[in-house]
Amino acid sequence: MKEVAFSYLNGFSLRHIDLKVKKGERVALIGPNGSGKTTLIKLAAGVLPPGHGEVLLDGAGLKTLSRREIAQRIAVVPQYFNMPFAFSVEEVVMLGRTPFIRALSGETEEDHSVVRYAMELVGIEQFTNRTFNELSGGERQKAILAMALAQKPKLLLLDEPTAHLDVNHQVEILELVKGLNREQGVTVVGAMHDLNLAALYFDRLVLLKEGIIFADGSPSAVLTEGTIHDVFGALVQIEQHPSAKVPHIIILPKENWPRG
């Protein structure tokens, strides 16, 4: 992204966003609610056009690419995914092949092979014929991830992928994403709400505040007591995670905050 800006009618805007993500990186967008994380994901996916500046993919501006070309390179795992029809899990995952299916030709054996592989990769092959809407929250999120992987993307965009999941499923989803990044070289950019999970599973953090990039770097560089106070207005204590060389944030009760 080069000098990207975007404004909503309600007055909120992203400003002066210069952000370069290298191939194979795993980057988390963090910041308070309303700081612009989801908007940045939508701009990166080409869903929103920037009001100023340019969004590039492999050196090409997204505005020069068709929706099909973008979808063949970028996959998005949204925060909310509603399926109004009684689609099976396999049918939902097959939606990820839409950018590759030619009109009137229908699904090929290659499409079915890619879908089977994606389902096996995330561990939901046993749910092939189950109705998507009957799955648990964690199982649905795995199916959505499989749908994204069926696109065979170069760039995977995640918008709060662990929202509304219990701890076990949060870890499962992020372990899957980490594995895809390391083993298949998929570049990952994810909007994250939980700072500790972001530090554990992403090598680079981009901290947003009121529509600008406030800090950008390793978890240790970005997650400091001073920075968290400046951006979130909260007092915390930072310790090293007991098994990983990343910061672990301990939230201090407000009764322990200094008065005045």
Query: 104 and 65 in one domain?
Result: no
pLDDT score of 21: 96
At residue 107, what is the residue type? E
Same domain? 50 vs 67: yes
Q: Which pLDDT does position 105 carry in this prediction?
A: 76
CA distance linking residue 21 with residue 27, whole number of Å? 8
**Contact criterion met (CB below 8 Å) for 239 and 224:** no
**Do both 89 and 147 map to the same domain?**
yes
Amino acid at 228: I
Phi, psi of 202 (to 5 degrees): -130, 135
Residue 210: per-residue pLDDT:
94
The pLDDT of residue 104: 64
pLDDT attached to residue 252: 87
What is the CA angle 218-223-225, rounded to 5? 150
List the pLDDT tens digit at each of the 260 positions of the chain.
999 999 998 888 999 999 999 999 999 999 999 999 999 999 999 999 999 999 999 888 999 999 999 999 999 998 888 887 889 999 999 999 999 988 767 889 999 999 999 999 999 999 999 999 999 989 999 999 999 999 999 999 999 999 888 999 999 999 999 999 999 999 999 999 999 999 999 999 999 999 999 999 999 999 999 999 999 999 999 999 999 999 999 998 877 777 65
Domain boundary among 151, 173, 190: 151
H-helix segments, 96-254: 109-122, 137-149, 167-184, 195-201, 219-222, 225-232
Q: What's the CATH code of the domain at 61?
A: 3.40.50.300
On whether residue 50 sits in a domain, the answer given is yes
**Structure tokens given for 132:** 């998507």
Task: Note the pLDDT of residue 47.
Answer: 93
Q: Which of 159, 13, 132, 193 is CA-nearest to residue 74?
A: 159
Query: Which residues on adjacent β-strands are paired with residue 158?
Result: 77, 190
The span from the CA of 13 to the CA of 52, in Å, is 11
pLDDT on residue 260: 56
| Same structural domain, 91 and 115 | yes
Residue with tokens 């396999």: 90
Considering the domain boundaries, does residue 133 fall inside one? yes
43 and 93 part of one domain: no
Q: What is the pLDDT of residue 41?
A: 96
Q: Which residue segment(s) compose the domain that 193 sits in?
A: 1-73+153-219
pTM for this predicted structure: 0.93
